[in-house]
Amino acid sequence: MNVLSKADIALVIPNLEEQGYIHDKYMNELVNGIISPVTRARLLAVVDRLKQQHRIDGLALGDTELPLILGDLTDRRIPFLDTARIHVQAVAARLWT
Residues in the chain: 97
The residues, any chain, with a CB within 8 Å of residue 70's CB and separated by 6 or more, are 40, 43, 44, 47, 61, 80
Model pTM above 0.85: no
Measured CA to CA, the distance from residue 5 to residue 27 in angstroms comes to 31
Domain boundaries, position 77: 2-95
At 80, which CATH number? 3.40.50.1860
- For residue 74, the model assigns a pLDDT of 66
The domain tally of the chain equals: 1
At 40-65, the pLDDT tens digits run 999 999 999 999 999 998 888 877 78
Residues lower than pLDDT 70 in the chain = 1, 73-74
Q: At 88, give phi and psi (nearest 5°).
A: -60, -45
